[in-house]
Structure 1
Amino acid sequence: MDEPVTVAWPGDPVLEGPGGVRVIGVPGQPDRETARLRIRAALATALAAHCGIDPDRIGLHSPEGAAPWATAALDGGERRIALAISHDGDISVAVFRADGSAVGIDVSQVVPVPDWEPVARDYLGPAVTAQLAGLPAAVRDAAFAQAWSEHEARLKCLGLQLDEWRAERAPALQACRCFPLALQAGYVGYLALAADGA
């Protein structure tokens, strides 16, 4: 398994991860709207520092039903930058990839999911459902959160919406390379890169 990808929290340096990505996080979110505003501000600041420009020259775009992206107004012209954002519990994470290649990210809080089996069957597919069913109950919540987060990161990387499991999508989803995120206890997360961008 790959080493966990470092998340840059406020005050940390933003390090380059696999495939040239940069991952940032914001903890202590009191509600969804505050989380959305804070991670977008942190993302704009990190992008501006990476590009060597002022934050007001960064545009963040997240149209309904499409993968989000950023634009950097550079002296030589505008550059499109791929990004992804995720929130759960009281943390938010975001990733950007300056070369524009697709990227996905997801964070999940580890919580009991009493109906894990039908949810896994409907969204994660038969193989993952069977793996989860073979685990002791004491570790199943964390394993479910990991499987869910990895699946969501893959979907975001491919620009797909969460939908019921379809076997014909499995090859494309599995082609994404996934890396775990280094997160605080009680959370799991994954970064996904397109097959050609690992």
Structure 2
Amino acid sequence: MASPLYNLARERVEADRLRHIGDDDLVRVVLGADVTLAAPISTLAWASANEIANILGISRAKAARLAAVFELGRRGAWDQPRPGVRCLDPATVSELMRDVAAEDVEEFHIVLLDVRGRLLGRRLISRGSLSQCPVSPRDVLRAVVREAAHGVVFVHNHPSGDPTPSPDDHDLTERLRAAAELVGVVARDHVIVASGGYYSWVEAGRWRR
């Protein structure tokens, strides 16, 4: 039998009063049960199903349902740039790679561009650990040449949430730029994405296109 708290929360949702409903009540409606949040909703939103189950003390099936709702919400709010859109502005690149910013390990990606800076696609080059992601300029440029792209934006994430580049990041950027010039590819920028924002070498004045 449903609890009075769940019934009240459901009635509020059915009455289209979503914006006036607390986080606890919204979760109760999703799960169909009386649940009291034991952590901020922002923490639960990025947690795995197993983590949600442990935090709330609920079954893995219910936790999986809640995790799916959070992911659907992110996808619905994600205005991801589509192929053909100009993708030279670092804010546009950051929006394109928003999913990578939330990864819990470092990844290195490339954004492929045509001669006018329009988006052709994005490719994962390497996946590393919490604090590093080995990248070879040869592997990066091989992927660019194979796709016959005119230009490229290098992108990697910082799981720490801080997009500030490290000395190693600066060194890698210079090596990638030099390698791109050798093979005739136009390197447009290097962007670090993180939950705390993004860093662009071009925007920071450390790279002239």
TM-score range normalised by the length of the shorter chain: under 0.3
Instruction: Give 1 or 2: higher helix fraction.
Output: 2
What TM-score, normalized to structure 1?
A: 0.27
- Per the normalisation by structure 2, the TM-score is 0.26
Bigger strand fraction? 1
Compare relative contact order (CA 8 Å, sep 6+) and give the higher one, 1 or 2: 1
Answer with 1 or 2: which has the greater Rg: 2
